[in-house]
Structure 1
Amino acid sequence: MVDRMTGKVALITGASRGQGRAMAELFLDEGAAAVISGDVLDPREPEGSRVDFRKLDVTSPEDWARVVGDIVAEHGRIDVLINNAAVCEYEPILETTLEQWDRVLDIDLKSIFLGTKEVLPHMIAQQAGSIINVSSIWGLGGVPNSFAYQAAKGAILNVSKNVATTHGKDGVRCNSLHPGYILSPMNEHQAPEINAALIAGTVLGRPGLPHETAYAALFLASDESSYVTGTALVVDGGYLAQ
C-alpha cells in the first residue's frame, strides 16, 4: 500500500464488477476514505468488500442528484468521479436501430453529461477534483461496425477536453481513459473471433487485465497526476501503436 488515495472520496459508475470494480478495490487499498460504486447491477461477490455499493441509473438525473447529494452529506466532499458505466452494440450504421442508438448514447455519453454536471459544483466549491471519463481505443481509431458505441466513445474524448479547459481555473482536472481489449464481464460473451483479432492486434500479444486499467485510473485520480489534464491515456497493449 502506497496510500496514493489517502483521504479521498471517489464515485465510480459501473463498479459492481469488471474494471470498475478493480478500480474501486484498488483505490481502497491505496487509502481512499470512501469509494462508492454507482451501478444498476447487483455487485459480484460483495462479501468482504469495503466498496459502498449503491443503486444508480446513470441515465437518470434524479438518481445522480440523490447519490451525489448523499455522498457529500455523508463525507463532506467528492474528490474523484470516474464515469465508467457503458454498454456496447456491434451493429454497423445500416443495421443500427434508433432504439440501439438511443440506448448506447444514453448510457455511454449522456451519463457523463449528467454525472459531471452534478459533481462539478462540489469540486468547484472545494477547488479540487479529478474527473476520469472511460472511453476506449475506439474513441481514437476507426473500427468496422459498432457505430453507436464508437460515436459515444469518440465524443467522450472531446467532452473531457472541454471540461478540462473550462474548469482548470477551478482546480478541476478532467481526462479520458482509453482501454483496449480488457478481460471483463462486458466482453465475456463476445464472439471468440472478435477476441482473437483484438489480441492479435496488440504488441504484447495478450488481453489486458482489469487491474491494469485500474492502475492507470489510479494515476489520473491521485495527486501524482496533478499537472495532467485534458489528455487521453491509452491502455491497450500497443494496439494503436502499429
Structure 2
Amino acid sequence: MTAKVALVTGAGRGIGLATTRRFLEEGWRVALLDIDGELLGHAMAELAAPEATLALHCDVADVAAAPASVRRAAEHFGRLDALVNNAGTAVFKPMLETTPEEWARTLAVNLTGPFLCTNAAAPIMAEGGGGAVVNITSISGLRASTLRVAYGTSKAALAHLTKQQAVELGALGIRVNAVAPGPVDTAMAKAVHTPAIRKDYHDTIPLNRYGLETELAETIVFLCGERASYITGQVIAVDGGFEATGIGLPTLRAERRNL
C-alpha cells in the first residue's frame, strides 16, 4: 500500500505502454486505461505484473465513465499519486475537408478527456497530500502544420489547460506539466511516414533522428516524481530540437557537416 500509484491513459501501446513499464521499473503500481480492450489485454499479458497493475477499459471522453475509472483505480490501489493524460486521437486531413464530427471527436478525446480525468483525480490526490499530472501534448500544438487543424488545435489547447491546471491545483500540492513529443518512432509513424517524410524530418531535427518511446517515458516519469518537485506549469518539448529550428535550414546544416 505504500508504493506510489499512477494512472496512465492510452496505455495499451506506444508512449503510454512505455511509460507504464518505466513506472513499474521505478517500483510504482500502475492503472492502465485504454479504449481498446483487446489492446489493453495484450499489454497486461505482456507486462505480466498482476499485483502491480490494473486494466481499465474506458473512453476518456465519456463524461461518466472516465471519472468513474479514475476513482476505481484509487479504490483498487488505495491511493493515487500521478495521472498521465496520454490518450489521444488524430485526423490528418485538410482543414476544408475536416468534418464537424471529426473536429468534435478530436477535441473530446485530446482536450475534454484530460479535463475530466484531472478533475476526478485532483480531489483524490489532494486528500493524499498531493500528486502530479502530466498531459501529453504535441509539437503540433506548438507549431502549425498541414493536415492538423483539429489535432494541432486540440494539443495547443491542452498546453494551455496544463497551465490553468497548474495555477489552480498548486495550492492542493498538485503539480501539472506537459510533455510535447516531436516525431517519435512509434508503430503508427512507421506505418504512415514514407521514406521521403522521414528524410524531411531528419533534415529538420537537429539531432537528426526520431525520438524513442522510452525517451518520452523517461521525461514523463521524471515529472511525476520527487526530483521534479519544483516544476509545474511547464510544457517540455521532447523533440530532438525540432521546435527550436523554426523553419529549419537543412541545406546550411548539411553544408556545415561537410566542412
Deviations for 1:126-145, whole angstroms, at most 9, x for unmatched residues? 23110000001111112122
User: What is the aligned counterpart of 2:170 among 157, 168, 191?
Assistant: 168
Aligned partner of 1:65 in structure 2 is 67
Partner of 2:109: 107
Give me the TM-score of the superposition, normalised by structure 2: 0.87
Note if 1:47 corresponds to 2:45.
yes
Alpha-carbon deviations, 1:51-103, whole Å to 9, x = none?
A: 43220111112222321222222222110000001111112321211111011
Answering whether residue 82 of structure 2 is matched by residue 87 of structure 1, we say no
Are the aligned partners of 1:87 and 1:186 in contact in 2 as well (CA < 8 Å)?
no
Higher-Rg member (1/2): 2
Structure 1 distance, partners of 2:92, 2:170, is: 36
Hey, what's the Cα distance between the residues in 2 that align with 1:140 and 1:45? Answer: 31
One-letter identity of the residue aligned with 2:219: A
How far is 1:225 from its partner?
0.2
**Structure 1 residues 57 and 45, CA, compared in 2 at 3 Å: closer, same or farther?**
closer
Q: Which residue of 2 aligns with 1:3?
A: none
Q: Does 1:240 align with 2:243?
A: yes
Number of aligned positions between the proteins: 236
The reply to whether residue 206 of structure 1 matches residue 209 of structure 2 is yes
Offset of residue 117 of structure 1: 1.1
Query: Pick from 35, 56, 76: which aligns with 2:30?
Result: 35
After superposition, the C-alpha distances for 1:155-189 in whole angstroms (9 at most, x for unaligned) are 01110000101111110000011000111133332
Give the match's secondary structure for 2:191.
coil
C-alpha offsets along residues 20-79 of structure 1, whole Å, 9 cap, x if unaligned? Answer: 1000011000110x1011001223454341243220111112222321222222222110
The question of whether the paired residues in 2 share the 8 Å contact of 1:17 and 1:185 is answered with no
Question: How far apart, in 2, do the equivalents of 1:68 and 1:235 lie?
Answer: 27
CA contact (8 A) 1:16 1:53 kept: no
| SS of match in other structure, 1:188 | helix
Identical aligned residues as a percent:
34
Is residue 161–residue 230 contact of structure 1 (8 Å, CA) maintained in 2? yes
Task: Within 5 Å, give how 1:150-165 maps onto structure 2.
Answer: 150-165=152-167
Contact 1:15 1:38 in 2 (8 A): yes
1:233 aligns to what SS in structure 2?
A: strand
Q: CA RMSD in A?
A: 1.5
Indicate the SS of the match to 2:192. Answer: coil
In structure 1, what residue type is equivalent to 2:5? V
Contact between 2:66 and 2:113, CA under 8 Å: does it hold in 1? Answer: no
1:10 corresponds to 2:13: no
Match of 1:24 among 15, 20, 27: 20
1:107, 1:9 → 2: CA distance? 23
d(CA) in 1 for partners of 2:59, 2:120: 14
- Tell me which protein shows more helix as a share of its residues: 2
TM-score by length of 1: 0.92
